[in-house]
A and B are shown apart, each in its own frame.
Chain A
Amino acid sequence: MRIMLLTLAWLMLATPAMAQDNDDVTLLLNWYLYSEHAPFFLGQERGYFADEGIDLEIQEGRGSGPTVQAVAAGTVEFGYADVATMIKAAAKGAPVKAVGVLLQTSPMSVMGLTEKNIRTPEDIKGKTVAVTPGDAMSQVWPLFLQKTGLSQDDFQTVSGDAQTKLNAVINDRADLLLGYLMDQNMRIFDATGKDVHVIPFADHGVNLVSSGIITNTDMIQDNPDLVRRFLAAASRSIQAAKEDPEAAVDAMLASNPDAGKRDTLLRGLELTIPLYHTPETEGQPVFRVTDANMADSVQMLIDYGGVEADTASDPTVFYTNNFLP
C-alpha cells in the first residue's frame, strides 16, 4: 500500500516535470490535407519541431473561417489559414494576428478543362462559372473582373459548395470554377484524367496574400518564446520542403496514407513553392511578407471584401514579422 502511494506520488511529481520539457502545440490547418500542408509533416518527421521543444499535432480543418475562430477562441495554439480571412475576422474584433505569411502570391484562379479552350479572361465571356458564395475567392472575383475588363453580365454564375463546384465542372454543368491553382485542377485531373487550364488571378494584377501562420494575440503576449520557436521550426520545414518536395510528400503520406495520390500531391507542392515569394521577397527567408503586399491586401479587402475602412486603417495590426528567425 505504502509503495503504491509512493509510486503514485512519484508519478504525480514526475508527469508535470516531463511535460515541461516539451510544449504541446496543435496546428489547425485550413482544410482537409492537400499538397500545401506537406512541409509541416516533413518538419514533424525530421524532428525540427522537437528540436525547438515542441510536440506538434497537426489537425485537418474545415475552412479558414472556422480555423481562425478556433485560434481566436484559444482552442488551438496556431492555425494555418487564409490571411485575408483572418484579417476579416480581426477587423470584427477577433484577437488574432498573422505571424508569418507563407503564400505571398495568391493561388486563386479561375480554371476549366483545357478542351474547352478558355485561355484568357476574354474567353470567359458567354461561359458558366461555378463559385462558392461567401468564400475568399468569390470576394476577390469582382476585383479580377475589374482588372480584366469583364463584367458580371458577360457570363453565367452558378453557386454551390466546394464539392459542387468540382462536380459542376466535371459534369459539364459549368465551364469554369474559382479555385486554387494547386488544388481543384489536380482533383479534376485525378477524377477525369483531363487537363485543366488555369488562369491565375495573380497574373492579372490581383496582389493578395494567402495562407499563413496565425495565432492568438494573448499567445504573442504571454509566450512570445513559443511563437519564436514554432516559427523557427516551421521555417526550417518549409525550407527543407523547397529543397526536397518528394520527401515532404512522403512524410505526409507516411503520417496520413489517405492524404492523396503521391504524384498529384507532388505536382501540387511543386506548384505551391513559387507562391512562397513575390518578386520583391525572392531569395529571402520564407514567411517574411512585405508591408506593401499586406497594405495592398488590406486595401483590397476594404474595397471588395466587406471590411469596414475604419476597422482596418492600420494594416500593421494584422501581422508581424518580429518572431521570424
Chain B
Amino acid sequence: MSAARPLWLRLLHSVWLRPVLLLIILLVIWDIVIRVFAIPPYLIPTPASVVEALVEEWPRLFGESLVTTYATLGGFGLSIAFGIPMALAIAYSRTVESFVYPLLVFSQSIPKVAIAPLFVVWFGFGILPKIIVAFLLGFFPVVVSTVMGFKSVEADMLDLARSMKASKFQIFLRISLPQALPSIFAGLKVSVTLAVVGAVVGEFVGSNSGIGYVLQIANGNFDLPLMFAGLVVLSMIGLLLFIAVDLVERLMIPWHASQRGGIQATP
C-alpha cells in the first residue's frame, strides 16, 4: 500500500523530516522578514550568517558544548537522585507531604538567576555551581510529576492486589511503579531541558568555559551570528538529551498508550 505512494509523499510522512521542513520554512520566513523590513545585522543576524558562524566556529562551539553538557547531566542526575526519593516520601506519607511540599513550591518561586551569584561565592568557579543551578531548575518538575504519578495509581488495582495478599513491595513494584512511570518520564523530559537552561545561567554568572561563556563574549563584541550559533548549539544539546530520555522511556514502558505507533499521533 505505502509502496505505491510517490517518494515525496512518503518523505512528507516521515517523522524525522516534518520538523526539519518546518525549520526550513521558519528560516525562510526569518530571512524574508529581515530583507523586507531591512533589519540591520547588529539587531538580528541573517540565517546565512548564523550558519556560517556555526560552521566556522564549530570546533570551539563543540568543545564548549561538552562542558555545558557535563554540567547539565550533573544537574539532571542530581534531580533524579534527590527528586524521585523525595517524591516517593511525599506520595506515601501525608506527614512528609504537609511539611515539605509547601516549602518546595515556595522555594521553586525563587528566581535562580538572583541567587546564582551566591553559588559562585560558596562553591567557586568550577563546575559545581553550574551543576547546582541546573539541579535547582531540573529538580521541581521531577518531584511534581513523580508525586502525581504515584498518587494517581488506580485504587481498585491496589485493593485487588491487597485482597490477593500481595506484599507492600510487590504492590509497589508490580502496580504503583509501572503506573507512575509515564508521568515520571514526562517530568524527566521537562527537567532535562530546564537543566540545560540552569547550566547556562550558572555559566553566565561565573565561568571560564561553556556555551554561556561564549554567549557572553559574543554579546560583548556585538557578534550576533556567533551568539545565535551558540543558542543553536544549546538547543541541540536540549534536543539530544530530550531524545535520549525519550528512548529510555520507550525501553522501559513499551506497553504504554503514548508509545503505540511511534511518536506520530496519526498514522
Q: How many A-B residue pairs have CB under 8 A?
A: 80
**Quick check: A168 and B42 within 8 Å, CB to CB?**
no
Q: Contact check: which of A134, A138, A163, A173 meets B124 at CB < 8 Å?
A: A173
B residues in contact with A171, CB < 8 Å: 121
Q: Contact check: which of A92, A167, A306 meets B117 at CB < 8 Å?
A: A167
Q: Is B207 an interface residue (CB 8 A)?
A: yes
Q: Is A89 an interface residue (CB 8 A)?
A: yes
Q: Is B161 an interface residue (CB 8 A)?
A: no
Interface size on A, residues (CB 8 A): 30
Q: Is B107 an interface residue (CB 8 A)?
A: no
Residue from the set A94, A164, A305 with the largest chain B CB neighbour count within 10 Å: A164
- Nearest-neighbour CB distance to chain B for A258, whole angstroms, equals 17
**Quick check: A92 and B206 within 8 Å, CB to CB?**
no
**Quick check: A93 and B220 within 8 Å, CB to CB?**
no
Residue from the set B40, B41, B205, B222 with the largest chain A CB neighbour count within 10 Å: B222
**Quick check: A160 and B217 within 8 Å, CB to CB?**
no
- Nearest-neighbour CB distance to chain B for A66, whole angstroms, equals 9
B residues in contact with A93, CB < 8 Å: 40-42
- Nearest-neighbour CB distance to chain A for B230, whole angstroms, equals 12
**Quick check: A92 and B222 within 8 Å, CB to CB?**
yes
- Nearest-neighbour CB distance to chain B for A306, whole angstroms, equals 5
A residues in contact with B117, CB < 8 Å: 160-161, 163-164, 167
Given contacts A160-B206, A168-B121, 4 further A-B contacts (CB under 8 A): A72-B42, A94-B40, A160-B117, A167-B120
Show 27 residue pairs from A and B whose CB-CB distance is below 8 angstroms, ordered by the A residue.
Answer: A65-B220, A69-B42, A69-B43, A92-B41, A92-B222, A93-B40, A93-B42, A94-B40, A133-B217, A134-B216, A134-B218, A134-B219, A136-B220, A158-B125, A158-B208, A159-B125, A159-B206, A160-B205, A160-B206, A161-B204, A163-B117, A163-B205, A167-B120, A167-B121, A168-B120, A171-B121, A173-B125
Using a CB–CB distance below 8 Å, which chain A residues touch chain B?
65, 69, 72-73, 88-89, 92-95, 132-136, 138-139, 157-161, 163-164, 167-168, 171, 173, 305-306
